[in-house]
Amino acid sequence: MKTIRPRENWDINFKDITVWDNFFTDECLKILRYRILYAKYFDTQYDGYVAIDYFKNQDHLTELIAKELSSKINLPEFQRAWSFVYDHEHAGVGIHCDPSIVNINIWVSADTIIKDESKNGLMIYKIKPPEAWKRSEWNGSKNGMGLKYIQSLNVKPTQVPYKSNRAIFFDGAYFHNSNNVSTKKGFENKRISYTMLFGSQLE
């Protein structure tokens, strides 16, 4: 099964932010959406969203995607992936960093689920945490350290609006967070993201 749509240009600057639309094939996008939407078990339940983890060599579809991507792009080694399903109204994931050289975030829900079009996107701050920080400091969105650090340097975010099947490539060590979540009522009208991590840093 092909997972990625063909492209004329596969060049990416991993130190910048790259946005590709119409990323997955229709079949792949549908599977990624519905397998977690109708999942009976989740690995983690957070405040406002639930998660399923796809670790290396544990999920066939994720391995297919990683392999196909790596055949097109000179990516670091694949580390892991996950999917999040959000409540209809929520702040989303707070400001944090991930321990990857490359993050790929893809929204797999339909555009028709969106209630407030000013929300549901991704905010990326092109700044990394101080080298002395521990994981609990750069990955712990609830402690507020990331926000205070960003504010102290007056760093403004790059805001990427929500769009179904939109892939965002960026340095995982950049601070980032959800731009809130606001979707229509109904079981299938939930914002679902799929995230892949390639390479390691910060740890």
Q: Say what the pLDDT of residue 136 is.
A: 87
Q: Say what the pLDDT of residue 12 is.
A: 87
Closest CA to 5 of 181, 202, 165: 165
- Structural domain count, the chain: 1
Range of the structural domain that residue 99 is part of:
18-198
Return the number of other C-beta atoms located less than 10 Å from residue 13's C-beta: 9
In a domain, 203, yes or no: no
In a domain, 81, yes or no: yes
In a domain, 10, yes or no: no
DSSP type of residue 137:
H
In a domain, 7, yes or no: no
Mean pLDDT for back-to-back runs of 10 residues, the chain (203 residues): 93 90 98 97 95 95 97 96 98 95 98 98 97 88 85 96 98 97 97 98 85
Rounded CA-CA distance 138/203 in Å is: 11
CATH number at residue 194: 2.60.120.620
In a domain, 13, yes or no: no
* pTM of the entire predicted model: 0.95
In a domain, 3, yes or no: no
